[in-house]
Chain A
Amino acid sequence: MSNDTIKYTPSDTSYEGKQDFTITVYAEDRVGLLNRISIIFSKRKINIDSLNTSPSEIAGIHRFTILINESYEVVRKLARQIEKQVEVLKVYFNTDSEVIWQELALYKVSTEEITEKVTVERLLRQYGATAVVIRKDYTVFSVTGHKEETDALVKALEPYELIEFVRSARVAIIKDSAGFHEKLKEFEADEPGEERVENEFLDKGEKIFTM
């Protein structure tokens, strides 16, 4: 590795094996682009753990957040293939320590069951859950957090007839990102920038408080 501003050199060996990577894609909002992106994974028989599409900080630009469990090498190649698509502006990929992320989970349980056997209050407190709806026949809780946290409540509710469970895709904020506004200006210029940064937020170290 000759130039460390150009190539990211994994600093620790944990990059060698598979781990969770959050891939953030800034793209034009166009019909069919999701398919173009998703086939890049399916072509290689790689499963997407979660995928979220949402608006970004810039009007008209879409942000895909894709979670996969793969090795650094595989993710790097995937990122380049995605970035190559005509309507994709930029792709970032980050390890868990480089992003702040959340997932939202909803749980539906029988109100009768749960009031008989556990106290709702205890659940709410212990798992940071919120009761979204309380009806005679069922109650819906929501928990926002990491997978381990939302999974823990699934386990806790298992004895009490969990009627329905759903978890949203991961949404993530890149700790070191200063937003996409500056980058976009560069893209809107006719001439490409000279900088060739493979993944500008990967090698910056943690500048902010880590949760």
Chain B
Amino acid sequence: METLQDTATKKATTSSPTFKGSGSQMLLNALIEEGVSTIFGYPGGAIMPIYDALYDYADQLEHILVRHEQGGIHAAQGYARTSGKVGVAFATSGPGATNLVTGLADAQIDSTPLVCITGQVFAHLLGTDAFQETDVINITTPVTKWNYQITDAKEIPEVLAKAFYIARSGRPGPVLIDITKNAQLQIEEFEAYTKCNHIRSYRPKPKVRVALIEEAAKLINSAQKPFVLFGQGVILGNAEKEFKAFIEKTGIPAAWTIMGEGAIPTDHPLNVGMLGMHGNYGPNVLTNEADVIIAIGMRFDDRVTGRLDKYAKQAKIVHLDIDPAEIDKNVKAEVGVWGDCKETLPILTNFVKESKHEAWVALFRDYNQQEIDQVITPELYPTGEEMTMGEVLRTLNELTGGDAVIVTDVGQHQMVACRYAKFNKTRSNVTSGGLGTMGFGLPAAIGAKYGAPERTVVAIIGDGGFQMTPQELGTIMQFGAAVKILILNNQFLGMVRQWQQLFHDKRYSFVNITSPDFVALAKSYYIEASKVDQRAELKKALETMINHKGSYLLEVMVGKENNVFPMVPQGCSVSEIRLK
């Protein structure tokens, strides 16, 4: 320990060609080299040497002490989603590491770049069932893009460089690095840190084949009813501009998966809305009428396709994706364009002819009008006494103008938020899409705020989901993340209740959830809070929340038994979407 303390006081400058110090210091140097400025973490026995080193890096690395490791990793996800950078989370061995699993699974399925560092017992204790030892590498293998256990400090620079390269390149994803305590303590002389840009066994993005894009263009040019479906790939590839240029030149209507929402502004004339189970009427019905479907950076999730054997059977599919494993996975593509859409889209735009599909786009508008009349107007401008989630979103849009980052949890409020929130900018919709992780919202919003500190961040959360990770109010209290928390309280686990109502004869089995006094709870954390249950007070209350300096919690009581419509019932085709 003597040598460790000696070297700890001589803090390394990261630019020095060689550096003598502990593995822990090298790790922190590596993070700085990779441009990390914020870490979400929680200390513990097996990661103590890293935290000891961190003590001296406070001016370069901001560490946010969360209240639970799951909160830490969700915050890192929120950070990655709004900033476009790699999110970093620290946890100790054993329970600390296992608490990361939900977040890893969430990040894996939603392609969020993360590097998670876990402490591990001394290498000589591995496999002895030592205190707080778990086989983190094997537990996390199915839910990481890559993971690795470091038992020797010499490996730290190279492995960290690889970790960041793998997390952010190609189709991004979570990486977990498990470091045994001896490697954290080990004093070594390290070479200058070099970033990784090539791993021979790893092909982050397939090289673009122009011939395939030409073929895709031919199909698109011959189409009468072309339809674009886009997902988060457009955002992850920073290809929003390229995407907009493509649809504007071709005049093709475009609909989004919830992960792709915001890649083009909500009110773009060719943005025809949301796909999938609770998506918009037109995009779902017309999926089964389009003659050519151009899928960009999306993966035909079952919530988007509904019943697969009745999905777009009449259409020829062009699928652009960076991940070759996604092409032909769920839906067979006529032309599969492997590659980064940042590179493929401009080539495609170049090959396609300028066009307008006015009658076809008008058809989407017709369906939209039906949806407005039957679903949207009653939801946004309800005449009944009870407030609806939709009117809360409408009022929020009026106040933010669509410039806020909207973070959601999972459930009815999530679908309502995705359907009705207005987005002017990309990287504004942070939601747990693929995994559907309740409890994601509050911690993700904290991270989202650190990732986009200049923006207003509103976390929309249900009464159920909020109660899964309320401990992160403590993180907000301590570090002052100015997150606006909007709880839409329907006194039910609403989405499950909706299914029980529609498909289980209203047998409401354990969906009746009671809540604490959320306002008092927030206040106990010294967070300003209020509650409204009258429409007349809604706008004022939202205004107070938005304009409040610092974090604020607003609880809005909404109708208990409202349902989210339209809906494609499970096992049904997208064209069997129900408006009521």
A residues contacting B by CB (< 8 A) are 2-3, 6, 27-28, 32, 35-36, 39, 43, 76-77, 80-81, 83-84, 86-89, 184, 187-188, 190-194, 196
| Other A-B pairs beyond A194-B207, A196-B209, 4, CB < 8 Å | A3-B212, A6-B212, A77-B328, A88-B201
CB of B228, distance to nearest CB on chain A (Å): 20
CB of A196, distance to nearest CB on chain B (Å): 6
Q: Which of B134-142, B235-243, B544-552 contacts A (4 or more CB under 8 A)?
A: B134-142
CB of B101, distance to nearest CB on chain A (Å): 14
Cross-chain contact B206 with A196 (CB below 8 angstroms)? yes
CB of B192, distance to nearest CB on chain A (Å): 20
Cross-chain contact B197 with A190 (CB below 8 angstroms)? yes
CB of B22, distance to nearest CB on chain A (Å): 24
Cross-chain contact B141 with A32 (CB below 8 angstroms)? yes
Nearest A residue to B330 by beta-carbon distance?
A77
Instruction: Write 21 A-B pairs (CB below 8 A) sorted by A numbering.
Output: A2-B334, A6-B209, A27-B201, A32-B138, A32-B141, A35-B138, A43-B142, A77-B325, A80-B329, A81-B325, A83-B324, A83-B325, A86-B146, A86-B202, A87-B202, A89-B200, A187-B200, A187-B201, A192-B205, A194-B207, A196-B209
Q: How far is the CA of A30 from the CA of B470 in the complex (A)?
A: 41
Q: Which A residues touch B215, using CB under 8 A?
A: 2-3
Q: Which A residues touch B145, using CB under 8 A?
A: 86
Q: A192-B206, A196-B206 are in contact. Are A2 and B142 (CB under 8 A)?
A: no
Q: Which B residues touch A196, using CB under 8 A?
A: 206-207, 209, 212, 324, 338
Q: Which A residues touch B208, using CB under 8 A?
A: 194
Contact pattern, B 141-153, Cβ under 8 Å of A = 1, otherwise 0: 1100111000000
Nearest A residue to B219 by beta-carbon distance?
A2
B residues contacting A by CB (< 8 A) are 137-138, 141-142, 145-147, 166, 197-203, 205-209, 211-212, 215, 323-325, 328-329, 334-335, 338
- A28 touches which of B201, B206, B325 (Cβ 8 Å): B201
Most A CB within 10 A of own CB, among B142, B197, B198, B202: B202
CB of A153, distance to nearest CB on chain B (Å): 38
- B325 touches which of A80, A89, A193 (Cβ 8 Å): A80
Q: Which B residues touch A192, using CB under 8 A?
A: 203, 205-207
Cross-chain contact B198 with A190 (CB below 8 angstroms)? yes
Q: How far is the CA of A196 from the CA of B142 in the complex (A)?
A: 27
Q: A190-B197, A196-B206 are in contact. Are A2 and B166 (CB under 8 A)?
A: no
Q: Which B residues touch A83, using CB under 8 A?
A: 324-325
CB of A184, distance to nearest CB on chain B (Å): 8
Cross-chain contact B141 with A36 (CB below 8 angstroms)? yes
Q: Which A residues touch B203, using CB under 8 A?
A: 192
Q: How far is the CA of A27 from the CA of B146 in the complex (A)?
A: 14
By secondary structure, the B interface counts as loop
CB of A11, distance to nearest CB on chain B (Å): 18
Q: How far is the CA of A49 from the CA of B402 in the complex (A)?
A: 55
Cross-chain contact A87 with B325 (CB below 8 angstroms)? no
CB of A169, distance to nearest CB on chain B (Å): 22
Most B CB within 10 A of own CB, among A28, A32, A86, A196: A86
- A80 touches which of B198, B205, B324 (Cβ 8 Å): B324
Nearest B residue to A28 by beta-carbon distance?
B201
Q: Which A residues touch B205, using CB under 8 A?
A: 192
CB of B274, distance to nearest CB on chain A (Å): 28
Most A CB within 10 A of own CB, among B199, B201, B205, B206: B201
Q: Which A residues touch B324, using CB under 8 A?
A: 80, 83-84, 196
Q: Which A residues touch B206, using CB under 8 A?
A: 192, 196
CB of A183, distance to nearest CB on chain B (Å): 11
- A84 touches which of B197, B199, B323 (Cβ 8 Å): B323
Q: Which A residues touch B211, using CB under 8 A?
A: 3
Nearest B residue to A38 by beta-carbon distance?
B141
Q: How far is the CA of A2 from the CA of B316 in the complex (A)?
A: 12
Cross-chain contact B207 with A84 (CB below 8 angstroms)? no
Cross-chain contact A39 with B325 (CB below 8 angstroms)? no
Q: Which B residues touch A2, using CB under 8 A?
A: 215, 334-335
CB of A115, distance to nearest CB on chain B (Å): 47
CB of B264, distance to nearest CB on chain A (Å): 29
Most B CB within 10 A of own CB, among A3, A77, A193, A196: A196
CB of B400, distance to nearest CB on chain A (Å): 39
Cross-chain contact B201 with A86 (CB below 8 angstroms)? yes
Q: How far is the CA of A188 from the CA of B202 in the complex (A)?
A: 10
Cross-chain contact A77 with B199 (CB below 8 angstroms)? no
Q: Which A residues touch B137, using CB under 8 A?
A: 32
Cross-chain contact A84 with B335 (CB below 8 angstroms)? no
CB of B95, distance to nearest CB on chain A (Å): 22
Nearest A residue to B210 by beta-carbon distance?
A194
Q: Which A residues touch B200, using CB under 8 A?
A: 89, 184, 187-188
Nearest A residue to B329 by beta-carbon distance?
A77
CB of B541, distance to nearest CB on chain A (Å): 47
Q: Which A residues touch B325, using CB under 8 A?
A: 77, 80-81, 83-84
Q: Which A residues touch B142, using CB under 8 A?
A: 39, 43
CB of A27, distance to nearest CB on chain B (Å): 7
Q: How far is the CA of A192 from the CA of B138 in the complex (A)?
A: 30
Q: Which A residues touch B338, using CB under 8 A?
A: 196
